[in-house]
């Protein structure tokens, strides 16, 4: 029995096919990395707000690279997604000189339905090339299950509407086969977004664009800002003013065939106008992060690497407070070295990343460390500075 897009599940769960396509009630649960870059076997337990903390070169950016790879598969195709991460040979974990075959498993959930997953494992082919060794997906919503299994040459599709084998080209993802199941998974992966704000890209004159999805480096902020409702623009200005005191309003400026943004700062006599090119890197980074959170097509999970870069230490806690508020709309994952940011977060939101025997490890904070914090003996930031933020082993 198939379920109409407007039908509500009998158990009262409002998650239907139509809502799944709109990504309503989507919650990412975990991401498992096996033989991927510096990780041999690790699982990131996700939540509304999660911070990866650890020393330089411990593996935080490699965890983010896995999310970027998954996000790129439906957008650019698997071959290009692999190339954008440095090529297949670069993705493989190596231990004692031996390379292993990488795999990723993303688990997610629609409403109160069973936990869904998408899994991809790549294998080696001569010449440092790869093949899809295994790819699978099972998506649950309401009373229905949609799924596929692939060995890299043929895809077995199982859904309420279809059950058939489909050929797939070598090195390609089963997501390119055009089934409704593949489309569902594409929508889920496209709801991931990693933001890497480049202040220069935000400051540059930009071409108008019909694309309203935020570019990771901020190179289309003018078009995204233009697409915001008046209420969202006011919210953005209020949030930025909490980080950069004096910001009164932001306006779009058209200069010939290009666009930029004008920032108005309040003074005793009148508001002074500064074009984006004249604003500090910290202000532009803060603006870009806030705009990414408020974009019309809000991602289900947004990743921000080191949000503290170029931002005044006094504004970090305010930025984290805003991100925590926005986590009601989009799940947030950050990487950070900042003790001030760590102090502003519940200890349960932290995931410790460290290196052991040449491989990256990742785990929540240990119970005994949580107890130290709860008893007020030390703050999470003090433990981070002392390299005493112990993981649960």
pLDDT category at 19 given cuts 50, 70, 90 is low
164 and 23 share one domain:
yes
Residue 5 has a pLDDT of: 36
Residue 16 has a pLDDT of: 59
User: Exposed/middle/buried for 341, CB within 10 Å: 0-12, 13-18, 19+?
Assistant: buried
379 found inside a domain: no
Kindly tell me if the per-residue pLDDT of 60 is higher than 90: yes
345 found inside a domain: no
What's the predicted TM-score (pTM) here?
A: 0.91
Decide if 156 contacts 150 (C-beta within 8 A). yes
Q: How far apart are CA 24 and CA 369, in angstroms?
A: 36
Tell me what percent of the residues of the chain surpass a pLDDT of 70: 94
Q: How far apart are CA 296 and CA 277, in angstroms?
A: 25
182 and 229 share one domain:
no
Q: Provide the domain count of the chain.
A: 2
159 found inside a domain: yes
141 and 125 share one domain:
yes
Residue 18 has a pLDDT of: 61
Find the range with the poorest average confidence among 4-13, 21-30, 203-212, 289-298.
4-13
303 found inside a domain: no
pLDDT of 87-106, one tens digit each? 999 999 998 778 899 999 99
What CATH number should be reported for the domain holding residue 318?
A: 3.40.50
Kindly tell me if the per-residue pLDDT of 46 is higher than 70: yes
Kindly tell me if the per-residue pLDDT of 7 is higher than 60: no
339 found inside a domain: no
385 found inside a domain: no
* Per-residue buried b or exposed e for 97-135, using 16+ beta carbons within 10 Å of the residue's own CB: eeeebbbbbbbbbbbebeebbbbbbbebeeeeebbbbeb
pLDDT of 168-216, one tens digit each? 999 999 999 888 889 999 999 999 999 999 999 999 999 998 777 899 9
For residue 226, how many C-alpha atoms fall within 13 Å in the half-sphere facing its CB? Answer: 17
Pairing of strands 331-336, 301-305: parallel
The mean pLDDT of the chain is: 90
44 and 150 share one domain:
yes
Kindly tell me if the per-residue pLDDT of 1 is higher than 90: no
Q: Residue range 147-151: average pLDDT?
A: 94
Kindly tell me if the per-residue pLDDT of 281 is higher than 50: yes
Residue 240 has a pLDDT of: 96
Coil, helix or strand at residue 310: coil
pLDDT of 299-325, one tens digit each? 999 999 999 998 888 888 899 999 999
344 found inside a domain: no
Helix (H) or strand (E) holding 28, with range, is strand 26-36
120 and 228 share one domain:
no
44 and 84 share one domain:
yes
Residue 364 has a pLDDT of: 96
70 and 94 share one domain:
yes
Q: How far apart are CA 32 and CA 49, in angstroms?
A: 18
Residue 144 has a pLDDT of: 84
Residue 21 has a pLDDT of: 60
Q: Residue range 232-243: average pLDDT?
A: 96
pLDDT of 331-381, one tens digit each? 999 999 999 999 999 999 999 999 999 899 999 999 999 999 999 999 999
Q: Which of 70, 134, 157 is nearest to 108 (CA)?
A: 70
Residue 174 has a pLDDT of: 94
pLDDT category at 13 given cuts 50, 70, 90 is very low
147 and 273 share one domain:
no
306 found inside a domain: no
Task: Give all strands of the β-sheet with 247-255 in edge-to-edge order.
Answer: 247-255, 258-266, 271-275
Per the structure block, which two tokens stand in for 293? 């959170």
Q: For 15-116, where are the alpha helices, taking DSSP H only?
A: 17-21, 60-76, 78-84, 88-91
98 and 203 share one domain:
no
Kindly tell me if the per-residue pLDDT of 11 is higher than 50: no
218 and 178 share one domain:
no
Q: Which of 121, 187, 114, 182 is nearest to 152 (CA)?
A: 121
207 and 246 share one domain:
yes
Kindly tell me if the per-residue pLDDT of 68 is higher than 80: yes
Tell me how crowded residue 40 is: count the other CB atoms within 10 A of its CB.
18
275 and 163 share one domain:
no
Q: Domain limits at 143?
A: 1-48+58-191+350-369
Find the range with the poorest average confidence among 168-182, 251-265, 277-291.
168-182
Kindly tell me if the per-residue pLDDT of 14 is higher than 50: no
């Amino acid at each position: 029995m198939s379920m109409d897009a407007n039908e509500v599940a009998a158990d009262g769960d409002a998650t239907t096919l139509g809502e799944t396509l709109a990504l309503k009630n989507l919650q990412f649960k975990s991401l498992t990395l096996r033989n991927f870059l510096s990780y041999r076997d690790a699982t990131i337990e996700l939540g509304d707000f999660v911070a990866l903390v650890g020393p330089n070169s411990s593996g935080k950016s490699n965890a983010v690279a896995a999310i970027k790879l998954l996000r790129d598969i439906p957008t650019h195709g698997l071959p290009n997604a692999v190339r954008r991460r440095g090529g297949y040979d670069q993705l493989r974990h190596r231990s004692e000189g031996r390379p292993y075959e990488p795999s990723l498993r993303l688990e997610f959930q629609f409403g109160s339905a069973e936990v869904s997953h998408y899994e991809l494992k790549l294998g080696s082919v001569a010449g440092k090339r790869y093949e899809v060794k295994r790819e699978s997906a099972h998506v649950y919503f309401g009373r229905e299950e949609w799924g596929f299994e692939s060995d890299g040459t043929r895809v077995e599709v199982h859904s309420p509407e279809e059950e058939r084998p489909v050929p797939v080209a070598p090195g390609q993802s089963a997501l390119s086969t055009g089934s409704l199941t593949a489309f569902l998974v594409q929508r889920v992966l496209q709801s991931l977004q990693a933001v890497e704000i480049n202040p220069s890209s935000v400051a540059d004159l930009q071409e108008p664009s019909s694309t309203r999805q935020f570019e990771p480096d901020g190179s289309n902020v003018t078009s995204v800002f233009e697409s915001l409702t008046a209420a969202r623009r006011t919210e953005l200005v209020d949030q930025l003013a909490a980080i950069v005191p004096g910001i009164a309003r932001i306006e779009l400026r058209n200069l010939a065939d290009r666009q930029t943004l004008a920032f108005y700062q309040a003074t005793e006599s009148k508001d002074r106008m500064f074009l984006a090119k004249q604003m500090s890197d910290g202000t532009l980074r803060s603006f870009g992060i806030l705009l990414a959170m408020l974009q019309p097509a809000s991602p289900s999970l947004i990743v921000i690497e080191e949000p503290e870069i170029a931002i005044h230490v006094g504004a970090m806690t305010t930025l984290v407070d805003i991100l925590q508020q926005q986590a009601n709309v989009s799940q947030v994952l950050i990487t950070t070295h900042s003790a001030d940011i760590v102090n502003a977060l519940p200890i349960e939101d932290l995931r410790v990343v460290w290196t052991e025997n040449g491989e990256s490890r990742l785990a929540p904070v240990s119970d005994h460390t949580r107890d130290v914090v709860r008893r007020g003996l030390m703050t999470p930031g003090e433990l981070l500075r002392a390299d005493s933020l112990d993981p649960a082993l």
